[in-house]
Amino acid sequence: MNERVMQFRIGMFVIVAGLVLTMMIVWFGESPSLLRAQVYLKVRYTEAPGVLEGVPVRKSGIRIGEVMAIAFDQRENQPDGVLVTLALERQFKVRQGSIPRLTRSLIGDVAIDMQPGTGPGYIEPGRTPSDPMTPIIEGEVAPDPSKALAAATKAFERAGDTLDSIKQAGDGLARVTKSADNLDRLLTIWHTTGQNVTGAAQAIKRFIETNEGDFHPALVNLRQVAQKLDETLDPKTREALQAGLAKFSSAAGRLDAAVAELEPALKELGAPSTRTSLTTDIGQTIRRLNLIASDLLLLTSKLRNGEGGLNTEGSLQKLIVQSDLHDNLNRMALSANQALLQLKTVLAALRTFAERVSSDPASMTRGAFQR
């Protein structure tokens, strides 16, 4: 086959494939922006969470374009923001006063909804993305539904806590209602007690009025006794009495200090026997005595038969009463003694051999070389 024919066929195949690909792109609506009739509009946001290239732009629920570019709004003496370039289909007009509202669904889908404006005319969009005449409008960000859902969840939790508080208050009110009878009885008792106190006060008043003539002489006699007692106690007696009271007070203070020092030991003496964290010497000593007593109890419990007598079937009783166990122990002791004597002879022979080897090591191989 001629080389020129082959090149021609390859070229035709490439051209046909390109035409088919172009037709498929046009038919399926995925043609590049250069093949579409688009105009451009820029929107300024304070923030644009989740906005990416290709995010749809809708108007009244109908897709009219998409996000083409995203950049930071870096203006002098102005707060930072985000500048989003929208590529809109030329056939859709945007009325003046329209607000591009950035919305976010619960599942995270982001879209820009063009809120209809009420202006007298339409916004004149730019021909190209870099056209300096492309208008810039202010956009707004809708509340995040996930944050609103979280706030609602917290509100429901607080409402649940409030309902629990109301329930507790209702329970308290019910308890107060149930105790109303006790309150009535308390008021009755207070009323009876007040009547009794009033009667006692009246009886005391009558007693004082009846014996008023005897109270004055008694007070005079009491005053005289006090004067005589004051005259009896001379200065030396008073000083001795004061010194005795001071010593008594000092002794009482020392006694209180001694009792305070003994208080931990007394508390540990009164503590249950199962307590292990003892800090004083007395408590630890008592605990050791308790442990010794419990061990002795366990040891001697095997010597009793439960009827107030000795257990004749126990091993300790058999060891004391039966002579066979004594004879067996004696034979074991004699056998052990004989074994020790034989072991002593063997150790003596080994010691003699070691001394000979240490004094003349060549004696171990001398006979072997002679053979």
Q: Is residue 57 within 8 Å of residue 63, measured between CB atoms?
A: yes
The pLDDT score that the predictor gives to residue 222 is 73
Average pLDDT score over residue span 282-295:
76
Tokens of 131: 């056209």
Q: Which residue has the higher pLDDT, 176 or 6?
A: 6
The pLDDT score that the predictor gives to residue 128 is 83
CB atoms within 10 A of CB 313: 8
Dist CA 74 CA 53 (whole Å):
20
- Please determine, for residue 30, whether its predicted confidence score (pLDDT) is greater than 60: no
Helices 363-370 and 323-359 cross at an angle (nearest 10°) of 70
Q: Which three-class secondary structure state does DSSP give residue 201?
A: helix
Dist CA 44 CA 79 (whole Å):
11
Summarised one tens digit per residue, pLDDT across range 323-351 is 666 677 788 888 888 888 888 888 888 88
CB atoms within 10 A of CB 257: 10
Residue 227 CB burial class (10 angstroms; 0-12, 13-18, ≥19): exposed
- Long-range contacts of 287-292, Cβ-Cβ distance < 8 Å, separation of 24 or more: none
The pLDDT score that the predictor gives to residue 173 is 61
pTM: 0.35
Confidence of residue 285 (pLDDT cuts 50, 70, 90): confident
Confidence of residue 31 (pLDDT cuts 50, 70, 90): very low
| % of residues, the chain, pLDDT over 90 | 2
Dist CA 80 CA 72 (whole Å):
7
CB atoms within 10 A of CB 68: 20
- State the residue for tokens 């006699």: 221
- Which is it for strands 62-73 and 56-59: parallel, antiparallel or unpaired? antiparallel
Average pLDDT score over residue span 199-206:
78
Looking at residue 188, its amino acid is: T
* Domain locations along the chain: 1-31, 37-142, 311-359
Confidence of residue 174 (pLDDT cuts 50, 70, 90): low
Confidence of residue 56 (pLDDT cuts 50, 70, 90): very high
The pLDDT score that the predictor gives to residue 367 is 55
The pLDDT score that the predictor gives to residue 221 is 76
Summarised one tens digit per residue, pLDDT across range 57-107 is 998 888 989 998 888 887 888 888 888 998 888 888 888 888 898 888 877
The pLDDT score that the predictor gives to residue 92 is 86
Average pLDDT score over residue span 48-64:
88
- Please determine, for residue 371, whether its predicted confidence score (pLDDT) is greater than 50: no
Residue 95 CB burial class (10 angstroms; 0-12, 13-18, ≥19): middle
- Please determine, for residue 178, whether its predicted confidence score (pLDDT) is greater than 50: yes
Phi, psi of 102 (to 5 degrees): -85, 120
Confidence of residue 29 (pLDDT cuts 50, 70, 90): low
Instruction: Mean pLDDT check: name the lowest of 19-23, 83-87, 298-302, 347-351.
Output: 298-302
Q: Is residue 243 within 8 Å of residue 229, measured between CB atoms?
A: no
